[in-house]
């Protein structure tokens, strides 16, 4: 019970920082993570839209779910893409290879906004040396033009509508 209440207090604080932001610069940095949804009854489950800047992913938006363990911040959150994405570091089930939230790299001082920024950076700039989809990593490395074309078409077909504001 101690972990749960601590986790919820911390997550409530982090959520307020994300939505309200202590200063405009921090809030501006989160323009790529929108439509944050958290049910009051379950602060351990967040949803939002990743809105990438870089081609080929700038043609759509991608819904993600962040699930925080009751032991948070002592254990990392899990991120799942709910929208399909053609990306070497994200598999068909939506699982992500993101070093900052791996068990061996996780630090309790890591804030949720830092995790989200790392995720946005990964989406905008794939890391083929740490793939979850070897086929896409190979295509990305050997035939970038083909990869970009395929990823753009996939994004247009499966991506969510980008927020206007």
Contacts 24+ apart (CB under 8 A), 134-138: 134/88, 136/86, 136/87, 136/88, 137/88
| CA–CA dist 136, 91 (Å, integer) | 10
Number of neighbouring beta carbons within 10 Å of residue 131: 20
Tokens standing for residue 90: 């994200």
8-state DSSP, 152:
H
| 64, 80 contact by CB (below 8 A) | yes
Specify burial of residue 3 (Cβ count, 10 A radius: 0-12, 13-18, 19+): middle
- The strand pairing partners of 61, in sequence order, are 160
Q: Which residues belong to the active site?
A: 97
CA dihedral 124, 128, 134, 136 (to 10 degrees): 40
């Amino acid at each position: 019970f101690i972990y749960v209440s601590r986790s919820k207090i911390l997550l409530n604080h982090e959520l307020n920082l994300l939505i309200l932001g202590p200063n405009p610069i921090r809030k501006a940095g989160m323009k790529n993570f929108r439509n944050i949804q958290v049910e009051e009854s379950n602060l351990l489950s967040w949803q939002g839209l990743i809105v990438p800047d870089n081609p080929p992913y700038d043609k759509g938006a991608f819904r993600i779910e962040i699930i925080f363990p009751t032991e948070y911040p002592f254990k990392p959150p899990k991120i799942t893409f709910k929208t399909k994405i053609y990306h070497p570091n994200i598999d068909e089930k939506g699982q992500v290879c993101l070093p900052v939230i791996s068990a061996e790299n996780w630090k309790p001082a890591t804030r949720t906004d830092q995790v989200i920024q790392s995720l946005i950076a990964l989406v905008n700039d794939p890391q083929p040396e740490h793939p979850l989809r070897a086929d896409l990593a190979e295509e990305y490395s050997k035939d970038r033009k083909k990869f970009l074309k395929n990823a753009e078409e996939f994004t247009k077909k499966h991506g969510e509508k980008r927020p206007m504001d």
